[in-house]
Amino acid sequence: MATGLLALLDDIAMLMDDIAVASKFAAKKTSAVLGDDIAVTAKKTTGIASSREIPIILAIIKGSFINKAILLPIVFVLNYFAPWLIVPILMIGGLYLSYEGAEKVIEMIFHKHSTEEKKQLTEEEKIKSAIKTDFILSLEIIIIALYSVKDQPLLVQIVATTLVAIIATIGVYGLVALIVRLDDIGFYLIETGNPFLEKIGRFLVFILPWIIKFLSIVGTFAMLLVAGGIFIHNMEFLHHYLHFLPSLLSELLVGFFVGTVTVSVTYIFHKVKGH
């Protein structure tokens, strides 16, 4: 019996080791998307009153965990029974991201007043928009993580992918919460009375609006990059014809092109429907 218990413990230890290795590999594969996720999320949480930043981010975190609780079992089941359905679903998500990204770029260039109006969203609208975008980005993170460990046993695939999804949520939103609270950290350092800490605090207060503005722009382009990457990686002819371009440029161009077409079709549809 003791020998059987030791063998079981040894099997568990080996399984945990396999999960740790697989999780680390999957995390590396999703790192680029996580960077985009941070930029997009920071963009979604701009223009919020300081006192409401953390409650809104907590609401988005809750929505993100719900997204993953929905997506993880669906992706696992589809990957096992109908793997051919995953790519079409992912591309529908890419359409949404490209539409949203292209719409923001078009508004920034041609409709500055319209952009300002659209910034005046309620808290609930900001949260819903952020959770909706998180749903698409979460789907891509889960699929990339799962595909990166597809050669592993099923249990290892499930546990490693789930761990990456959970860590991604904690890491992304934890960093976003830190970024949006930099001004509070700065004010705290200013009030310490220490000349050196006071300088750091003033610098943090000064630089935060620029960081938010930068992340807002990066977040828009990140949506186009993620969308373009989805189309290029899953449509062989695009990869064939655009192979001579740097990957970032090709993904940006494809994302913006698809987004512009989607925005145009949507605009025409609304015009026709309005008449």
Residue 119: inside a domain, yes or no? yes
Please state, in angstroms and as integers, the Cα–Cα distance from residue 118 to each residue in 128, 149, 151, 166, 224, following that order: 14, 41, 46, 32, 19
Residue 10: inside a domain, yes or no? no
Range of the domain at 58: 23-180+212-274
Residue 221: inside a domain, yes or no? yes
Each residue of 159-195: pLDDT tens digit?
A: 888 888 888 888 888 888 888 788 888 888 888 888 8
Total domains in the chain come to 1
User: CB–CB of 91/247 below 8 Å?
Assistant: no
User: CB–CB of 247/219 below 8 Å?
Assistant: no
Residue 11: inside a domain, yes or no? no
User: Residues 28-48: what's their mean pLDDT?
Assistant: 61
Residue 165: inside a domain, yes or no? yes
Residue 206: inside a domain, yes or no? no
Residue 89: inside a domain, yes or no? yes
Looking at residue 68, what is its pLDDT?
92
Quote the tokens at residue 132.
């909706």
Residue 17: inside a domain, yes or no? no
| Global confidence as pTM | 0.72
In percent, the amount of the chain with pLDDT more than 70 equals 77
